[in-house]
Chains A and B, each alone.
Chain A
Amino acid sequence: MSILKIEGLHAAYGSTKVLNGIDLDIAEGQIITIVGSNGAGKTTLLSCISGLIPYTGSITFRGESISSNVGSDERVKRGIIQVPEGRQVFAEFSVLNNLKMGAYTLPRNEKIAPMLEEIYKLFPRLNERKNQKAGSLSGGEQQMLALGRALLSKPQLLMLDEPSMGLAPVVVIDIFKTIRKLNERGISILLVEQNAKLALKVADYAYVMENGRISLSGVASEIAEDEKVRAAYLGG
């Protein structure tokens, strides 16, 4: 069963067309990755799904169509959660307040203490630093915080934009292990990643994006073997 289905999606910044008819399907419980060079439109696609920019075409989430004028807050309530590129933590807030912001759309009577415990179990480092300003954390810790914050929003579909960007290789391995773990708990994942090698290794299914179009799609392990993909994204 598909959790998210996109058909004929178009989007533009002013007169510059960025997405030219994207078709994409995410099966429930899978990890889907989108690989593509800079400027291919990957982040724009995530912005459309999150409702940050207007689009034409259809987005269907759990069988319900979501038109362009449905606000980002409504989408978060339905479980479409994005961890944006560059982490985007609230730098002046403490780690704890950042996490609380993640629970913003949950009903007031919902207890977040047990959820916080879960997050701290997953990322013990966040517990150690919960009263520290988020801006003072290292890049890897900020990525953990961004992930933890997103988990408090109770995601059904978790979209990750370049989670490995600017992180040390050891930390990247950690983050990807966590992504796997989250997927095993039943969260469907849409992963946008420059590090195509790693992304294709962890994903079930992959899309290759070029100039606002999907140029190739298939089972991730097969895409990783594709000669053109190897030449363009995996360094031969």
Chain B
Amino acid sequence: MVMLIQALLSGVAQGAIYALIALGYSVIYRTLNMGHFAQGEFYMLGAFFGVWLFTKLNLPPIIVFIASGLLTSLVMLVMERLAYRPLYTRSVMGLLISTLGMQYVIQTIAKIVWGSDVKRFPPMLDDSTVYIPFQDNRIAISMQSLWVIGVCAILLLALTLFLTKTKTGLAMSAVSMNRKAAALMGVNINTVITSTFIIAAFLAAIAGVLMGPLYSVSFTMGSGIGTKALTAAVMGGFGSLPGAVLGGLLLGVVETLGALYISSAYKDLFSFIVLISILFLRPQGLFGQAKVTKV
């Protein structure tokens, strides 16, 4: 029982990270109807900026989080202008290929700038473990996991408020529902697309800073987690924001429980089995709406 609760907790923490990156996939999919394959690389960039700001400039954690998020968003801004924006008026396939290509461009640039060795990200936040008595045993909870869950929850709340309460957020949802009508209301579509990419980059970067100290930082760390988060987004219903969160949490928990009760060697297998089962039963994902397309 104690083992189960501990595993659930670390599963939720891992899942929250997947959820942050998956949200990025989903906000972009909502506006552009396209998967952003370079999404995982922004997780990696966030972690690298975090290490640099924390170890070289000795900035306090809160500044490290915000500054890493902003620097990563800046990279996204430049990339969007150069590699994505010229393609908006053409077939979505070109844009899709461009995001695939940018995955390698960012990885290679990161390798040139920071080198190919694995970097250690010293613990930034409280890394102690607290014990809570439970029946005649005790549950070990790492403060790191609690921080991860807490920060993710705050970001989720902020994103929800932004999308439902602010004028810009409302415009973003309007563009995702009906681009032509939004343009006719005077919404600048390109500005909305840019904001979408920036939100996606910021969320992924925060996830990177959160996870950096738990693992290690290297230029390849983004692609694996990018695939996982994409899985989470598809599971939850591609384009659905609550779906991305639920998909992420589900994936994290399934992986951790699978590793605990079956074998950690098959960790990745469990998530893909869940993905395939969900897609068999509900092809539109957990929260997705079945789309009827007339041909």
B180 touches A90 (CB 8 A): no
- Chain A residues with CB under 8 A of B216: none
Partner of A90, one of B167, B181, B186: B181
A90 touches B184 (CB 8 A): no
**How many chain B residues touch the partner (CB < 8 A)?**
16
Partner of B177, one of A71, A91, A100, A108: A91
Stretch from B136-144, B168-176, B266-274 at the A interface:
B168-176
- Chain B residues with CB under 8 A of A88: 178, 180-181, 184
Chain A residues within CB distance 8 Å of chain B: 50, 52, 71-73, 75-77, 81-82, 84, 88-93, 97, 100-102, 104-105, 108, 149, 153
Please judge, given known A-B contacts A71-B188, A73-B187, A90-B174, whether A101 and B182 are in contact too, CB under 8 Å.
yes
- Chain A residues with CB under 8 A of B188: 71, 73
Question: Is B161's CB within 8 Å of the partner chain A?
Answer: no
Minimum CB–CB distance for A123 against chain B, Å? 18
A104 touches B186 (CB 8 A): yes
B184 touches A72 (CB 8 A): yes
- Chain A residues with CB under 8 A of B187: 73, 101, 104
- Chain A residues with CB under 8 A of B171: 101, 104
Please judge, given known A-B contacts A100-B170, A101-B170, A101-B171, whether A73 and B177 are in contact too, CB under 8 Å.
no
B180 touches A52 (CB 8 A): yes
A84 touches B186 (CB 8 A): no
In the complex, how many residue pairs between chain A and chain B have their CB atoms under 8 Å apart?
A: 63
Please judge, given known A-B contacts A93-B173, A93-B177, A104-B167, whether A52 and B183 are in contact too, CB under 8 Å.
yes
Q: How far is the CA of A72 from the CA of B179 in the complex (A)?
A: 12
Majority DSSP secondary structure for residues of B touching A: helix
Minimum CB–CB distance for B174 against chain A, Å? 5
Minimum CB–CB distance for B125 against chain A, Å? 38
Partner of B181, one of A71, A75, A84, A108: A84
Question: Is B93's CB within 8 Å of the partner chain A?
Answer: no
B177 touches A84 (CB 8 A): no
Question: Is B185's CB within 8 Å of the partner chain A?
Answer: yes
A89 touches B181 (CB 8 A): yes
B184 touches A81 (CB 8 A): yes
Q: How far is the CA of A150 from the CA of B167 in the complex (A)?
A: 17
Please judge, given known A-B contacts A91-B177, A92-B177, A97-B170, whether A105 and B185 are in contact too, CB under 8 Å.
yes
A101 touches B174 (CB 8 A): yes
Q: How far is the CA of A77 from the CA of B257 in the complex (A)?
A: 56
Q: How far is the CA of A90 from the CA of B170 in the complex (A)?
A: 11
Q: Which residue of B lies closest to A106 (CB)?
A: B186
Minimum CB–CB distance for B284 against chain A, Å? 15
B184 touches A84 (CB 8 A): yes
- Chain B residues with CB under 8 A of A84: 180-181, 184
- Chain A residues with CB under 8 A of B185: 76, 101-102, 104-105, 149, 153
Minimum CB–CB distance for A161 against chain B, Å? 10
